[in-house]
């Protein structure tokens, strides 16, 4: 008789649903309300983006005031929209797309705060960002000359100087100037971040950020990926530390300790490719660096962007619109204004109004950055037909991955030869190891750094890391996951995490880690579609693939990009890769030749693998 009972229950449920005309009426009303909002939301997003662009392009008090006023006004508007939408019992609606839209529109982020607190939060973040953008340090040789900026002076010095005392000077000056002054504003920011998260129904800001990935197991997936790549990371770390000891000696670099980070060619030791010149496995083999050739051929920033544009068009993607060339800032202005030079791509929520702001220099690194930023632009152009709430990446990491997929092709010798920047380059075994090594210094060593930046902030947001331990916990984590340490002893009087732009500017960083993993999944699939990769074929490997001019690969990427965030990210990933989970397997396949070589080489050198904890941060 159980089946009769089951049928009765099902019939009762069906009758109940059919007999709820109020729910159907509410769903129609909600649909009309959401559709009617679209043009207003686009206009407001455009106004806010224009104000942010004006401020970041010219850091004045007037521009800051105008930007914050518009953001506050919009916050109040979206708060009212959310209040109206929350009147509907939308979780019982039948239309899955409508439910998705309403969920996005009722999660207000910081706009959930009361107006005075929202303004306080904006002020705190603006103050931290402004401190970062305007921080100046003193010259190593002339301590009375104190007008050096991060971009370009410090960045170039960290990349090129091989004097450990000079590097230590600039490292210390930067962290002192860009970090400690933000502590009070950071404390305000943490408190208001917590209040906003709770108002949106999250236990902390960590859960608020992680919710964007629409998977309760996502944090565990990230932890697993970091563990998966750790053996490879430990090998490259051991090799680099050995080479640094050869250059600088035992007094500067210990045998088993973390690497002093000022020696790694980057202010945050997030990538190490700037020290490839003296750590490269086979220095006698020709190095892959086309900077000199770019300069010799008279390259300029405009030409670099035009070449990036041509790459996308070769994939059957969208040509950069005229407004891009009219309104972008592609070189550092010479009129003396202060601006945020950090490369960024912008969507202005109007048809074809997309821009980049980048203080572009003529070198190979910036040539790859150009392609990365144009990846963001292409994403904007492909999903601009979507409703406003879907005009974003499938998850935060997708946006960052797209441009890098192109860079993986652009950085291959075969592509650089095609575009006339490389001639007669022989890709023998030594050259291959050099190429994978250099790529590892850029891609692989970044992963534990990116992991730390957000794992640290999750700990703060969750209350697991308290203000009295903010600094030493940061260095403890950088040591644990990256095996690096500061060049001088730090204390809790210092506050070093905000000396990284994304911490000062309140930019979630997990997106970069995710992008560095999934880009290899995207790349492998695009290479298969381009006929450039066949598993097991030594002539068609994933690490020697150039998808340039492949319409098949381009069309598949376009299909993924055009979805925006209209579907959960596994749906978008599946459109290109056939996979629905993030996995480090494609990354590890890409770097397998490097891993095999490093294991043998480190044994030959007697290089210690692993590292002891840092002792470079004292509570007082």
In whole angstroms, give the CA distance from residue 51 to residue 498. Answer: 24
Largest CA distance in the chain: 93
CA distances from 39 to 36, 52, 420, 470 (A): 7, 20, 46, 44
Bridging pattern class, strands 344-347 and 354-357: antiparallel
For the question of residue 620 being annotated catalytic, the response is no
With beta carbons less than 8 A apart as the criterion, state whether 196 and 112 touch: yes
In whole angstroms, give the CA distance from residue 129 to residue 498. Answer: 9
For the question of residue 373 being annotated catalytic, the response is yes
Give the orientation angle of helix 21-57 with respect to helix 96-106, to 10 degrees: 50
In whole angstroms, give the CA distance from residue 448 to residue 445. Answer: 7
Token couple for 340: 């945020």
Hey, is 215 helix, strand or coil?
coil
Give the orientation angle of helix 364-382 with respect to helix 396-410, to 10 degrees: 130
Do the annotations mark residue 361 as ligand-binding?
A: no
Residue 222 has a CB neighbour count (10 Å cut-off) of 22
Hey, is 490 helix, strand or coil?
strand
Strand partners, 354: 347
The number of residues making up the chain comes to: 620
Residues with Cβ within 8 Å of residue 410, at least 6 apart in sequence: 311, 367, 368, 371, 416, 546, 548
In whole angstroms, give the CA distance from residue 424 to residue 414. Answer: 10
* Catalytic position from the list 130, 373, 392, 528: 373
Do the annotations mark residue 376 as ligand-binding?
A: yes
CA distances from 119 to 108, 125, 195, 446, 589 (A): 15, 10, 14, 34, 48
CA distances from 190 to 111, 218, 364, 465, 571 (A): 15, 23, 38, 11, 34
Do the annotations mark residue 132 as ligand-binding?
A: no
With beta carbons less than 8 A apart as the criterion, state whether 542 and 430 touch: no
* Catalytic position from the list 502, 523, 528, 532: 502
Token couple for 382: 């492909």
CA distances from 555 to 400, 409, 466, 517, 558 (A): 19, 16, 49, 22, 5
Q: Which residue has tokens 């559709």?
A: 35
Q: Which residue has tokens 């890769």?
A: 577
Closest CA relative to residue 371, chosen from 389, 387, 352, 358:
358
120's enclosing H/E stretch is helix 115-134
Do the annotations mark residue 372 as ligand-binding?
A: yes
CA distances from 83 to 32, 129, 537 (A): 16, 31, 58
In whole angstroms, give the CA distance from residue 363 to residue 299. Answer: 9
With beta carbons less than 8 A apart as the criterion, state whether 41 and 388 touch: yes
In whole angstroms, give the CA distance from residue 107 to residue 313. Answer: 37
Token couple for 483: 């095996």
In whole angstroms, give the CA distance from residue 195 to residue 501. Answer: 23
The beta-strand segments (E) located in 396-539 are 484-485, 490-491
Do the annotations mark residue 400 as ligand-binding?
A: yes
Q: What is the DSSP string of 580-614?
A: -S--SHHHHHHHHHHHHHHHHHHHHHTPPPS-PPP
Query: Which residues fall in the annotated binding site?
Result: 213, 372, 376, 400, 511
Query: Which residues fall in the annotated binding site for chloride?
Result: 213, 511
Active site residues per annotation? 373, 502
Query: Which residues fall in the annotated binding site for Zn(2+)?
Result: 372, 376, 400
């Amino acid at each position: 008789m159980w089946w009769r009972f089951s049928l009765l229950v099902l019939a009762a449920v069906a009758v109940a649903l059919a007999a709820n005309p109020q729910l159907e009426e509410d769903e129609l009303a909600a649909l009309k309300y959401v559709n009617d909002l679209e043009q207003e939301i686009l206009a407001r997003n455009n106004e806010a983006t224009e104000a942010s662009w004006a401020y970041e392009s010219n850091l004045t008090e007037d521009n800051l005031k105008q930007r914050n006023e518009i953001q506050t006004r919009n916050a109040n508007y979206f708060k009212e929209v959310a209040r109206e939408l929350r009147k509907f019992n939308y979780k019982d609606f039948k239309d899955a797309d409508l439910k998705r839209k309403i969920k996005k529109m009722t999660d207000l982020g910081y706009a959930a705060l009361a107006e005075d607190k929202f303004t306080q939060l904006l002020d705190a973040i603006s103050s931290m960002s402004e401190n970062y953008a305007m921080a100046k340090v003193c010259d190593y040789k002339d301590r009375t000359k104190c007008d050096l900026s991060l971009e370009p002076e410090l960045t170039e010095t960290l990349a090129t100087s091989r004097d450990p005392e000079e590097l230590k000077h600039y490292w210390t000056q930067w962290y002192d100037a860009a970090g400690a002054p933000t502590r009070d504003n950071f404390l305000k920011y943490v408190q208001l971040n917590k209040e906003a998260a709770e108002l949106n129904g999250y236990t902390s800001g960590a859960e608020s950020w992680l919710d964007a990935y629409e998977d309760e197991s996502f944090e565990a997936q990230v932890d697993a990926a970091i563990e998966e790549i750790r053996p490879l990371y430990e090998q490259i770390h051991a090799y680099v530390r050995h080479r640094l000891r050869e250059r600088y000696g035992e007094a500067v670099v210990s045998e088993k300790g973390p690497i002093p980070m000022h020696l790694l060619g980057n202010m945050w030791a997030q990538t190490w490719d700037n020290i490839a010149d003296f750590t490269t496995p086979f220095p006698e083999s020709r190095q892959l660096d086309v900077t000199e050739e770019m300069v010799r051929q008279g390259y300029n920033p405009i030409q670099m962007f035009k070449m990036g544009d041509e790459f996308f068009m070769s994939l059957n993607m969208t040509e950069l619109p005229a407004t891009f060339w009219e309104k972008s800032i592609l070189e550092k202005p010479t009129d003396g204004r202060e601006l945020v030079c950090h490369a960024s791509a912008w969507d202005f929520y109007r048809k074809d109004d997309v821009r980049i702001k980048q203080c572009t220099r003529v070198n190979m690194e910036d040539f790859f950055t150009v392609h990365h930023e144009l990846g963001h632009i292409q994403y904007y152009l492909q999903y601009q037909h979507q409703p406003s709430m879907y005009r974003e990446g499938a998850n935060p990491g997708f946006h960052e991955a797209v441009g890098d997929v192109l860079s993986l092709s652009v950085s291959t010798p075969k592509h650089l030869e095609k575009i006339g920047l490389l001639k007669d380059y022989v890709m023998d075994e030594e050259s291959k190891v050099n190429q994978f090594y250099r790529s590892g210094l850029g891609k692989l060593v970044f992963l534990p750094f990116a992991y730390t930046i957000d794992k640290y902030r999750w700990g703060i947001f969750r209350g697991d890391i308290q203000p009295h331990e903010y600094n030493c916990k940061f260095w403890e984590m950088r040591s644990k996951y990256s095996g690096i340490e500061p060049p001088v002893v730090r204390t809790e009087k210092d506050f070093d995490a905000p000396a990284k732009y994304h911490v000062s500017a309140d930019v979630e960083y997990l997106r970069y880690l995710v992008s560095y993993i999934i880009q290899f999944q995207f790349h492998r699939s695009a290479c298969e579609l381009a006929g450039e990769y066949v598993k097991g074929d030594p002539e068609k490997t994933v690490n020697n693939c150039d998808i340039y001019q492949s319409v098949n690969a381009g069309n598949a990427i376009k299909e993924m990009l055009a979805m925006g965030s209209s579907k959960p990210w596994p749906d978008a990933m599946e459109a290109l890769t056939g996979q629905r989970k993030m996995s480090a397997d494609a990354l590890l396949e890409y770097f397998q030749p490097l891993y095999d070589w490093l294991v043998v080489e480190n044994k030959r050198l007697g290089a210690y693998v692993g590292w002891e904890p840092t002792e470079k941060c004292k509570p007082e």
